[in-house]
Amino acid sequence: MKRLAIFASGSGSNAEKIAEYFAERQDVEVSLIFTNNPQAGVIKRACKLQIPVVFFDKKTFYDTRKVLQILQNERIDLVVLAGFMLLVPALLVEAFPNKIINIHPALLPKYGGKGMYGQFVHEAVVNAKESESGITIHYVNENYDEGNVIFQATCPVAPTDTSDDVANKIHALEHENYPRVIDEVLYQKR
């Protein structure tokens, strides 16, 4: 059985869609959800889905091997970032080469890097009067949003779209594509 760990800092809508996608599968399990935010909405979603939650703080994440040890002890095959706001430390990237993936709410390399997440990305897209935006699913390396691209999908941005309109289009793309691409990465079809 393939085992996933999801890291999330926010509401957890992508984590929930991923868990639902694999819920009936006998060959894949969402084993754990990790969060650094004790107020994150993903916690309620994880409880509803009966997925154990692992809490950690920034110091534990960067200054200890605790998170790595849990991932290794649980025999995690793939680490999935789903709205996770911290830069993954080199220790984890080295321990899981091409086994950590992230989704970004823009077409990288545009609108990536430190501080470019969520609504900040959508506002930047609207302010730049872009005609399209989209999602990028990529491998994680030691830098924000610089890992090799696995998949991109686009959506149009109308001149009248607000950042909220763009956010809604991006969420639809994320929910439609991220679970499927995770499945393909697990079985090395990408």
Confirm whether 122 is a catalytic residue.
Answer: no
Known binder of ligand: residue 14? Answer: yes
Catalytic residue among 104, 122, 171, 175: 104
Q: Are 116 and 123 in contact (CB under 8 A)?
A: no
Known binder of ligand: residue 102? Answer: yes
Among the residues of 7-154, which ranges form H helices?
13-22, 42-49, 58-63, 66-73, 90-95, 118-127
Give the contacts of 96 (CB within 8 A, at least 6 positions apart). 71, 76, 79
- Known catalytic residues? 104
Residues forming the annotated binding site for (6R)-10-formyltetrahydrofolate?
Answer: 102
Binding residues: 12-14, 102
